[in-house]
Amino acid sequence: MISQAARDALQGWLDAQKALKGASANTLSAYSADVAGFLAFMSEHKGELQGLAPLARITVGDMRSWMAFTRGKDVGSRSLARKLSAVKSFYRWLSEREGFEPTAVLSTRSPKFQRKLPRPLAEDAAKDMIATVEMQSATPWVAARDQAVITLLYGCGLRISEALSLSGRDLPIGDALRIMGKGGKERMVPVLPAARDAVEAYLRLVPYETGPDDPVFKGVRGGKLSPRMVQKVVEKTRMQLGLPASATPHAMRHSFATHLLNAGGDLRAIQELLGHASLSTTQAYTAVDTARLMEVYKRAHPKA
């Protein structure tokens, strides 16, 4: 159980995250669940509903108890670090609003975890994915649609949500696309002729009209195409090609970035193309490239 005062504070913080930082609905949902879980634990841990005054008196010991409890529910280090980050953000906001010292919460150390590196496809595998994905449907317009979506993910480095958010207002596709990414951040993305041609081929076949507010990519009944359907068709293609489980729609975006970097692309330019808020996120691709070079070195060097 969570006290009404704590519930109101949580909602106020979520509203602030949306208004000031443009947090997405999915992000807000995750934040809400993480902080609500923390508040519920503290009520149980203390044996009473935690109003704002008790929340201001959270100790280092209380934080350790929460982290131990959360770990005991088979929550991994990465997920626990995310939950702690949400709780700290909430406490920064609450302490400024209520005028208390949040040191006990903010000083809690995040658990260490091995950051997962992106798993890009090899260039040939990415090309095979694009060429083969259309074979998964006997309906010509659906086959053309699937190929157009995957070509955009790889050719423009789009997130699957960004590709499926394209509307009639974005047509006809020219040399660049204006993409609204995470946090409402807008960016311009160059469009390769192959990606433009794939979308145009799909549009010639799709049996539904596309008005300015209609989605470009449609499901079989004419509504907006579901990300899950794209994931399923990629899974079928992956199995047909014998590619690893890491060959997902998002891996096409990773492949876009990695292949650009391998070809000498500038890291900051790639950051802009991907819509990463922080260069450190994009720098993960340098780790991928370094790991690949080290493998080559170990295999080829006579002293290795």
CATH number at residue 64: 1.10.150
Among candidates 277, 255, 256, which has minimal Cα distance to 186? 277
When pLDDT is cut at 50, 70 and 90, the band that residue 304 belongs to is very low
When pLDDT is cut at 50, 70 and 90, the band that residue 262 belongs to is low
Instruction: Clarify whether residues 161 and 72 are in a common domain.
Output: no
| Residue 21 covered by a domain | yes
Instruction: Clarify whether residues 69 and 145 are in a common domain.
Output: no
In the prediction, which pLDDT does 282 show?
47
State mean pLDDT over 207-236: 93
259 is catalytic: no
In the prediction, which pLDDT does 57 show?
86
In the prediction, which pLDDT does 275 show?
52
| Residue 263 covered by a domain | no
For the chain, the average pLDDT equals: 82
Instruction: Clarify whether residues 143 and 223 are in a common domain.
Output: yes
| Residue 85 covered by a domain | yes
The one catalytic residue among 119, 236, 250, 292:
250
Whole-prediction pTM: 0.58
In the prediction, which pLDDT does 298 show?
62
276 is catalytic: yes
CA dihedral 268, 125, 163, 148 (to 10 degrees): 130
In the prediction, which pLDDT does 287 show?
52
In this predicted structure, the answer to whether residue 279 has a pLDDT above a threshold of 70 is no
Alpha-carbon distance 38 to 190, whole Å? 43
In this prediction, what percent of the chain has a pLDDT beyond 70?
82
Any idea what the CATH number is for the domain that residue 137 is in?
A: 1.10.443.10
Instruction: Clarify whether residues 86 and 129 are in a common domain.
Output: no
Amino acid at residue number 25: A
Position with higher pLDDT, 179 vs 8: 8
Q: How many domains does the chain have?
A: 2
The one catalytic residue among 145, 159, 196, 254:
159
Domain that holds residue 66: 4-106
In the prediction, which pLDDT does 277 show?
47
When pLDDT is cut at 50, 70 and 90, the band that residue 261 belongs to is low
In the prediction, which pLDDT does 276 show?
46
Q: Model confidence over 86-121: pLDDT tens digits? A: 999 999 999 988 888 888 889 888 877 655 555 778
| Residue 82 covered by a domain | yes
**Which of 106, 140, 173 is a domain's end point?**
106
Alpha-carbon distance 25 to 184, whole Å? 11
The number of CA neighbours under 13 Å toward the Cβ of 41 is 21
Q: Model confidence over 49-67: pLDDT tens digits? A: 767 888 888 899 999 999 9
The one catalytic residue among 145, 196, 253, 259:
253
- Is residue 205 helix, strand or coil? helix
Contact yes or no for 38/82 (Cβ under 8 A): no
Alpha-carbon distance 303 to 228, whole Å? 48
Token representation of residue 42: 């503290």
**Which of 72, 106, 140 is a domain's end point?**
106
In the prediction, which pLDDT does 190 show?
80
The one catalytic residue among 182, 187, 224, 292:
182
285 is catalytic: yes
238 is catalytic: no
91 is catalytic: no
| Residue 292 covered by a domain | no
- Is residue 188 helix, strand or coil? strand
159 is catalytic: yes
